[in-house]
Chain A
Amino acid sequence: MSEFFHQYFDFHIMGAHFSEVLEGFLKNLLLFAVVVVLALIWGLILALVRQLPGRKLIPLRGLTIAYIDVLRAIPLLIIILLISGGIPYLNFLPKDIRIPHWFGQPDPFWYGVLALTLVYGAYMAEVYRAGIEAAQGGQMEAARSLGMSHSQAMRHVIVPQAITKIPAPMLNEMISLLKDTTLVSVVALGESVLVGREVLAETFNSSAVLLAGLMFLVITLPAARLVDKMIKRNQGKITRGAHIEVA
């Protein structure tokens, strides 16, 4: 038993490498913060394009659906490897894009940003879609019958309602995203898991890796509780709404 504790909970090792792991974890958070903004925007664009009306736009809609489906169906790790292992060698691209060092971050960071945004944009597009579809139907017809264009109706009627319906599932995606930032360690981004693995390789002890896991828990556990609460509160709202109609 003590062997077990020593392997995973060696407080000496945890203490010795705490600041390194924390620094790595801050890198996870930074990656998360950049990607979450970009993916929320990219996902909304995808969802809106998917909802565009008219026969002429069938090819564009089909392309969007294919993108969303394919990106969700391929392991994220493969996307990361395809981007980090391919883009540097595409010589027709300017060097600044092939090997980006923007805002003081190394190129693996930006490969991670691109891969995670492409994939999580697809996931978030699906969340937006659920919200948009829940808000549509009579609302779209009412807006259109008042003379509003499709885009006016989307902007003023459908999307504002869709957004009130999606915080819980969107937060779920964000929790997954935060965890998945660790995958960028495979392209040598010095985030918490990579730091933990280096300690593991040196000491044959898992405590630093576990420490990284604990740091994630501090954020993801309360967030998961929050998702639960939001879902419960939403159900309460639906019940109260029905009550008002009866009264």
Chain B
Amino acid sequence: MAEAMVKLEGVHKRFGQLEVLKGVDLHVQKGEVVCILGPSGSGKSTLLRCVNLLEPPESGEIFVEGQDICKGPGSGTGEQSWNLDFVRQRVGMVFQQFNLFPHKTVLENVTLAPRQVLGKSRAEAEEKAKALLDRVGLSDKFDQYPERLSGGQQQRVAIARALAMEPHVMLFDEVTSALDPELVKEVLDTMRELASEGMTMLVVTHEMGFAKEVGDQVVFMDGGVIVEQGKPADVLDNPQQERTKKFLGLVLGTS
């Protein structure tokens, strides 16, 4: 099998007394879409945040493109380390609350990091940003400020902003949870398109339809561990574990 794009081995994370991740193993192949489901507090968002070191894990190993990001020069200090640069240049992230920069226009939101971090010229960054915004259907919003956009539009800007750094992996942390129902589809459509273009994606979501249709792998987490994982059809339609059955029953309203 080819080298995994993202590989987690025995990842532990605690916040004070609370152990949020209790040994998680996960392999994500290049181009794969992995949907992570689970009740709130199950550790799924923390898992995602560990992958780009927003939360450095206490123990265990995380590999991105074969490189152990928990080791290497400067690891453990949590700051200015070599692996932080390595990870953040390869892993993009989209948040539940969009987190667009409110004092910058849509275009500036997308060009800021490429200009500051990658050292691109303004023209170069803007050209790329316009193409990306065009791709997410926002070519008429370049000069707007985020507060003038709907939630769905803001989230699509956030996706374009992450893509502008040309990541190899994208993390989506409940990106439709803060949206009005009628705005969910436009964001999911954008993600679906991204998946079809071969982007490796880790998606924490409550959208079962999306997981089933787009996911190559579904992971069900509870209590800081992976309870069950496999093909979406297997996990979602024919769960083996009691906890999975119970959760899916509650979410889908079938029990």
Residues of A near any B CB (own CB < 8 A): 53-56, 138-139, 141-150, 152, 156-157, 160-161, 164, 241, 244-245
Contact = CB atoms under 8 A, between A and B. Distances in A.
Given A142-B95, A245-B151, A148 B117 contact: yes
B162 A146 contact: yes
B79 A53 contact: yes
A56 B79 CA distance: 10
Contacts, number: 70
A25 B4 CA distance: 73
Contact of B116 (A141, A156, A241): A156
A149 B161 CA distance: 16
A241 B147 CA distance: 7
Contacts of A53: 78-79
B101 interface: yes
B78 A139 contact: no
B77 A161 contact: no
A150 B161 CA distance: 18
A138 B97 contact: yes
A144 B116 contact: no
B103 A146 contact: no
B77 A54 contact: yes
B89 interface: yes
B102 interface: yes
Nearest to A149: B80
Contact of B88 (A55, A145, A160, A245): A145
Given A144-B54, A244-B147, A161 B79 contact: no
A143 B112 CA distance: 9
Nearest to A57: B79
Contacts of B117: 146-148, 152
Contacts of B101: 139, 142-143, 157, 161
